[in-house]
Copies of this chain bind each other. A is one copy, B any other.
């Protein structure tokens, strides 16, 4: 059994990690940490979990995982993981960080959009960007994963294969994403008050969201040249789910069959990616509470443009699920372990 610890277990991503790990056949939850709820049973904070996670939350202290945790998930606000991760690694604990702290190879970009980085070398030389299907072989050998953001996951999975295969004019990429509210976390804000979100729909952080540079770094690597995108996120009045509609000019002339063929072939051996058949497009309700990314593709021949639509559950493939998938890859167990529960019809 893999002994895991979750730092920051009481946010939505952390709690979703707990849910998935509880159902994982090869895992034992060794520790859940929470500053706010130290000493309180996890199932008192999330009463749904009564009988499943009657585990007292503890406060994380340097060294407190040593000897009892094999893999640590850090589901903490940006900046905290930088402080904790070096110590964890030194004690032989593998780390999957769900914050942005270890997502960037070019740390100067991180510093521009977040804050000064205190663990630059780890980020630049050791951390692996945990986009499971794309970076599979690097993840296998990693001891530190920067787990991707939800928006980047939803864009990169459909786009990277088409870029690598030369279908995309990389100066023309426009990304219009729509997220459920759980992506904003469990902290209180007027923006997540029920009455302000319900029967509402809006764009936010228009072209200034800090997931854009994260996407650009990976796209640039795929393209072998710098890629800049326009990115506009929107908030949908639903709890879970993320849909991304991406637009790009075709680099040459391709038809939809070739585009779908490219995606089909790229993801042939990857169970969590499902390519939709012709004239069929993803719905977030089809991936709810699963680790799937459903992808639809359309060639807009009149405009020589490609339209990509992808759907994920922002808390699963966009956070906790992909983190567990990465743990599975890193520890050499079945990639789908703990993540293959049947989807919901409704």
Contact = CB atoms under 8 A, between A and B. Distances in A.
B247 A344 contact: no
Contacts of A193: 186, 188, 192-194
A286 interface: yes
A245 B190 contact: no
Interface string A208-240: 000000000000000000001110101011111
A307 B232 contact: yes
A22 B345 CA distance: 12
Nearest to A50: B274
A296 B203 CA distance: 10
Contact of A282 (B202, B285, B315): B202
Contacts of A49: 342-343, 345
Given A47-B286, A303-B230, A204 B238 contact: no
B203 A281 contact: yes
A154 B245 CA distance: 19
A182 interface: yes
Interface stretch (A11-19, A127-135, A156-164, A321-329): A11-19
Given A199-B239, A203-B309, A15 B283 contact: no
Chain A, interface size category, equals: 35 or more
Contact of A346 (B176, B178, B195): B195
Interface in A184-207: 186, 188-190, 192-204, 206-207
Nearest to A11: B345
B238 A198 contact: yes
Given A49-B345, A230-B307, A182 B195 contact: yes
Given A307-B207, A343-B49, A345-B18, A234 B178 contact: yes
Contacts of A12: 195, 345-346
Nearest to A199: B238
Contacts of A199: 198-199, 238-241, 284-285, 288
Residue among A47, A188, A345 facing the most chain B CB atoms (10 A cut-off): A345
A229 B189 CA distance: 37
Contacts of A264: none
A113 interface: no
27 contacts: A12-B346, A15-B346, A47-B294, A50-B274, A52-B343, A174-B247, A180-B201, A182-B195, A186-B190, A192-B195, A193-B194, A194-B237, A198-B238, A199-B285, A201-B236, A201-B243, A201-B311, A202-B284, A203-B243, A203-B296, A206-B298, A206-B307, A232-B309, A234-B243, A234-B245, A237-B238, A247-B247
Interface of A: 12, 15-16, 18-20, 22-23, 46-53, 174, 176, 178, 180-182, 186, 188-190, 192-204, 206-207, 228-230, 232, 234, 236-241, 243, 245, 247, 271, 274, 276, 280-290, 294, 296, 298, 300, 302-303, 305, 307, 309, 311, 315, 341-346
Shortest 7 CB-CB distances between A and B: which pairs? A15-B345, A202-B283, A48-B343, A200-B285, A22-B342, A48-B286, A188-B188
Given A23-B342, A198-B239, A234-B245, 7 more contacts: A19-B342, A51-B274, A52-B342, A200-B283, A202-B284, A202-B311, A230-B303
